[in-house]
Chain A
């Protein structure tokens, strides 16, 4: 029996890491807790929240992406909404933390500090 051994050499070119793609991945799961953290100080309407978040340019870029996130937070019952009349326009939908949202934020805060410290330590570690 004749056996043919074939050897395939695959040359892998390193994929360039897109800054946008990396940020999108890292923001996932973080932004919702940042929204909860902002809501600690009281209820906000959507535009107010997006304006606050927009101060952090790395964390938040497109205002529109806030709304699917707020919908998820409502579904999880971490946030609830109510309407309030406005003196300068139509009534506004306000978002406020629920007790479950407070607990979720507390749990996140407890793990975020040590996790952040570990990542920082690993990044600064000398080879």
Chain B
């Protein structure tokens, strides 16, 4: 913002309009409220151009074109429709996927095959779900993907370890043959 326009934006009419707009958007979605006030400020700044000392009539014309603040606020999304989910875009899917990923991790030592199957399923589900634009910012889905992938890797390591131990045990007799004969 240039210093000239910053000064103009302090004009009483503009300041009052922006303050009224902010107040009218009190019940709107917080992000939409902040974006709207900022964008309207930029709009006024642009329409004023390089005028360092606009008349009240010129300012009033710009504000009239913008419309009554109540009408702008009326076209915004009410906060009650958007603020409920703390993790937008997933609803209950994110938390459920995260819970299943944790279960998969716990099962790694108890039942590595079941853990591997569960972890791979959750990983596949979260990767598909995260492709949706609305779910990309979901921390629960991201956490579920991370935990499930870790569980899958851990399950593979444990399974390979168990297979290796079983092979070694099968290959070596428990009691030396000489000892029996002797």
Q: Which of B1, B36, B39, B77 contacts A90 (CB 8 A)?
A: B1
Are A68 and B76 within 8 A (Cβ)? yes
Are A62 and B133 within 8 A (Cβ)? no
Q: Which residues of B contact A45 (CB under 8 A)?
A: 46
Q: Which of B5, B21, B47 contacts A47 (CB 8 A)?
A: B47
Minimum distance in angstroms from B92 CB to a CB of chain A: 21
Chain A residues 36 to 51 lying within 8 A of chain B, measured CB to CB, are: 45-47, 50
Are A67 and B36 within 8 A (Cβ)? yes
Are B72 and A88 within 8 A (Cβ)? no
Q: Is the interface of B mostly helix, strand, loop or mixed?
A: helix
Q: Is the interface of A mostly helix, strand, loop or mixed?
A: helix
Chain A residues 44 to 78 lying within 8 A of chain B, measured CB to CB, are: 45-47, 50, 61-65, 67-72, 74-78
Write out, one digit per residue, whether chain B residues 20-60 have a CB within 8 A of any chain A CB (1) or not (0). 01000000100110011001101101110110000000000
**Is A118's beta carbon under 8 Å from chain B?**
no
Are A64 and B133 within 8 A (Cβ)? no
- Closest chain A residue to B46 by CB distance? A47
**Is B86's beta carbon under 8 Å from chain A?**
no
Q: Which residues of A contact B5 (CB under 8 A)?
A: 89-90
Are A46 and B28 within 8 A (Cβ)? no
- Closest chain A residue to B1 by CB distance? A90
Are A89 and B2 within 8 A (Cβ)? yes
Known A-B contacts A62-B67, A71-B32, A100-B133; A88 and B49 likewise in contact (beta carbons under 8 Å): yes
Q: Which of A61, A67, A76, A89 contacts B40 (CB 8 A)?
A: A67
Q: Which of B2, B43, B45 contacts A67 (CB 8 A)?
A: B43
**Is B7's beta carbon under 8 Å from chain A?**
no
Are A77 and B39 within 8 A (Cβ)? no
Bound-state CA distance A67–B35 (Å) is 8
Q: Which residues of B contact A76 (CB under 8 A)?
A: 133-134
Bound-state CA distance A63–B62 (Å) is 9
Q: What are 26 A-to-B residue pairs whose CB atoms are below 8 Å? A: A24-B74, A45-B46, A46-B42, A46-B46, A50-B43, A61-B67, A62-B67, A62-B72, A63-B43, A65-B71, A67-B36, A67-B40, A67-B43, A68-B35, A68-B36, A68-B72, A69-B75, A70-B39, A71-B32, A71-B35, A72-B32, A74-B35, A77-B133, A89-B45, A89-B50, A90-B5
The 5 A-B pairs at the shortest CB distance, nearest first, are namely A62-B67, A71-B35, A64-B66, A68-B76, A64-B72
Hey, which bits of chain A sit against chain B, CB under 8 A?
A: 24, 45-47, 50, 61-65, 67-72, 74-78, 88-90, 92-93, 100
Given A24-B74, A76-B133, A93-B42; 5 other pairs, CB 8 A cutoff: A64-B21, A64-B66, A65-B75, A72-B32, A77-B133
